[in-house]
Amino acid sequence: MFSRILIANRGEIALRIIRACHELGIEAVAIYSEADKDAPYLRFADEAICIGPADCARSYLNIPHIISTAEITDVEAIHPGYGFLAENINFAEICEECGITFIGPPAAAMRLLGDKVEARKLARKAHVPVVAGSDGAITNEAEALKLANKMEYPVIIKAAAGGGGRGMRVVHNDISLRSAFSAAKAEAEAAFGDGSVYLEKYIVEPRHVEVQVIADQAGNTLHFYERDCSVQRRHQKMIEESPCPVLDERTRDSLCEAAIRLVKEAKYVNAATVEFLLDKDKKFYFIEVNTRIQVEHPVTEMVTGHDLIKWQIKIADGHTLKFRQKNIRHNGVAIECRINAEDPERDFAPCPGTIAKYIAPGGPSVRVDTHAFQGWTVSTNYDSMIAKVIVHQKTRAEAIATMKRALREFVIEPIKTTIPACLDILSHNLFVKNKIDTGFVERNF
């Protein structure tokens, strides 16, 4: 087993990885920017190295500084967490070249699945249903118009190099397609450095359902069931749960098996999440693969009893999955709420500021993953997530009741947070009755 790992990330996921390392008897090296120098989780790391100023580009995205840190602290592996360099092919390759194990997929698999257009092609090859759309990138407006009319509106223009819900535009007719097409290309170029766009049929009022997959270096690929992440605002997830409350067993099995087929086709290793849209007829369509661990991984951990971060580390170390698919059981219902420093009453405007009073919820069945603490100043340097609250109960109704109880206990003052918005959603009739889709939040709040 590795003796020392560097965590190329910050905040709650850095702490999460430190914890997994320590439970496995591995030393953890943390990195921090000058803006994070007071982060309490740094004291849990065996070594903490300042790698740059607050600006991400010069710190958490600074590959030379991070690799240099890995060298001077003599680590054997780097865990990239999520975001930052987690899906950076260049970083994965540099780690490989420097003889440092990158805890994630091989760069080749990341490249294959990271390109949304290539991933769609691979999905077709693996007989995974995809949303109707272009076979590759669309280079001109005429091509786009022709395909859009063939598929029938509405269609969505997506950036091939995009992801995480960014660089997408829905259009309903030829006029809006004409005006959106070149704008979408320009946006993609600016945001991702690659102006390639493709077209997909826009599925009306879908649910977002994703499958957690893990593959070891021997090629064993298992799924850890699905998560429903339909509660989103502007494509950013707010609440996630497992299981997806509207899936029947047969559809669940097909969905999870499709995810495994796709990941195997790419010769993938380590953790991945395969995202699908579920239409009103319970038909599912592949949209993209996230070649990293996800923010909402605790939901799956609660319902399966597996520690996904430890699996990532063990697999990178060469361990194989020594059990079968049937040995992974799904128990009960888990729900996660992301708590952000945003004001729901001002259109979720970010609310940086100092948390003067902080009391996290507790009690049975409640898990809080956070790096926040009393006296912490939420800054504008990084994302606004303060904490993730996860609950696990036998039934969905009990899970909702426990989550509401936990959120009401959560004190984060005086800054504004999304706790009231989460409570409103959890109490909403449509959410309780499972009649939601990805447009639910924006239509009702």
Block residue for tokens 């036998």: 394
Q: Does 122 bind another protein (CB under 8 A)?
A: no
Q: Does 353 bind another protein (CB under 8 A)?
A: no
Q: Does 413 bind another protein (CB under 8 A)?
A: no
Question: Quick one: 60 or 286, whose CB is closer to another protein?
Answer: 60
Task: Spell out the alpha helix ranges (H) of 10-158.
Answer: 11-23, 63-72, 89-97, 107-114, 116-125, 141-151
Asked if 32 and 48 touch (Cβ cutoff 8 Å), the reply is yes
Q: Does 98 bind another protein (CB under 8 A)?
A: yes
Residues 170-209 that bind another protein (CB under 8 A): none
Question: Quick one: 73 or 312, whose CB is closer to another protein?
Answer: 73
Q: Does 75 bind another protein (CB under 8 A)?
A: no
Which of these ranges, 66-74, 165-173, 294-302, 403-411, lies near another protein under the rule CB under 8 A? Answer: 66-74
Angstrom distance (rounded) from CA 126 to CA 86? 25
Of these, 6, 15, 20, 69, which contacts another protein (CB under 8 A)?
69
Angstrom distance (rounded) from CA 87 to CA 82? 8
Site string for another protein, 9-48 (x = CB under 8 A): -------------------------x--xx---x----xx
Q: Does 50 bind another protein (CB under 8 A)?
A: yes
Least Å distance, CB 23 to another protein, is 22
Asked if 381 and 54 touch (Cβ cutoff 8 Å), the reply is yes
Angstrom distance (rounded) from CA 283 to CA 241? 19
Of these, 8, 13, 26, 51, which contacts another protein (CB under 8 A)?
51
Question: Quick one: 56 or 126, whose CB is closer to another protein?
Answer: 56
Q: Does 99 bind another protein (CB under 8 A)?
A: no
Q: Does 270 bind another protein (CB under 8 A)?
A: no
Strands 377-378 and 353-354: antiparallel
Q: Does 71 bind another protein (CB under 8 A)?
A: yes
Question: Quick one: 38 or 253, whose CB is closer to another protein?
Answer: 38
Angstrom distance (rounded) from CA 348 to CA 340? 9
The dihedral formed by the CA atoms of 191, 196, 200 and 205, expressed in degrees to the nearest 10: 0
Choose, from 10, 207, 292, 367, the residue flagged as catalytic: 292
Asked if 91 and 79 touch (Cβ cutoff 8 Å), the reply is no
Least Å distance, CB 254 to another protein, is 47
Cβ atoms within 10 A of the Cβ of 42, count?
21
Amino acid at 317: D
SS3 assignment, position 407: helix
Q: Which of 133, 140, 137 is nearest to 155 (CA)?
A: 133
Angstrom distance (rounded) from CA 148 to CA 145? 5
Cα-based distances in Å from 220 to 217, 224, 269: 7, 13, 9
Cα-based distances in Å from 43 to 47, 55, 290: 8, 22, 31
Question: Quick one: 96 or 442, whose CB is closer to another protein?
Answer: 96
Q: Does 73 bind another protein (CB under 8 A)?
A: yes
Angstrom distance (rounded) from CA 36 to CA 11? 9
Question: Quick one: 6 or 110, whose CB is closer to another protein?
Answer: 6
Q: Does 253 bind another protein (CB under 8 A)?
A: no
CA angle 385, 387, 390 (to 5 degrees): 130
Which of these ranges, 62-70, 134-142, 272-280, 318-326, lies near another protein under the rule CB under 8 A? Answer: 62-70
Least Å distance, CB 281 to another protein, is 54
Least Å distance, CB 7 to another protein, is 14
Least Å distance, CB 285 to another protein, is 44
4 catalytic? Reply is no
Question: Quick one: 31 or 263, whose CB is closer to another protein?
Answer: 31
> Which active-site residues does the annotation give?
292
Q: Which residues bind another protein (CB under 8 A)?
A: 34, 37-38, 42, 47-53, 59, 64-69, 71-73, 98
